[in-house]
Amino acid sequence: MNDGENEQKPGWPREVWIQKTYEAKAAEFGDDYNADDDDAVLFAMGESRRPLQIDSWAELKIPDGYELVGEDDRGDYDVYRESKRRG
């Protein structure tokens, strides 16, 4: 999909990384989860990381319970979403 954005940014298609959110990983620990398990949850989040190949931000579909890993990717994606919201 080419939404015009690809011409503005070199390097498309590209790979972005996602990981399970803190809440999703904590939920997997079940009823026995408590604040002392924070280190285990954070480690498990890192273990859940996986790459996604995308051709544009418009194509990015983040599965429920996942989030973008990289600060730059999150910032760029937020800028894209805000520009779409404003029209």
Res 6: pLDDT = 45
For residue 60, pLDDT over 90 is answered with yes
Residue pair 29/37 in contact by the 8 Å Cβ criterion: yes
Write the pLDDT tens digit of every residue in 1-14.
444 454 446 678 89
For residue 58, pLDDT over 90 is answered with yes
Residue pair 44/25 in contact by the 8 Å Cβ criterion: yes
For residue 19, pLDDT over 60 is answered with yes
| Domain range enclosing 65 | 5-86
Structural domains of the chain, count: 1
Res 57: pLDDT = 93
Write the pLDDT tens digit of every residue in 21-33.
888 887 877 765 5
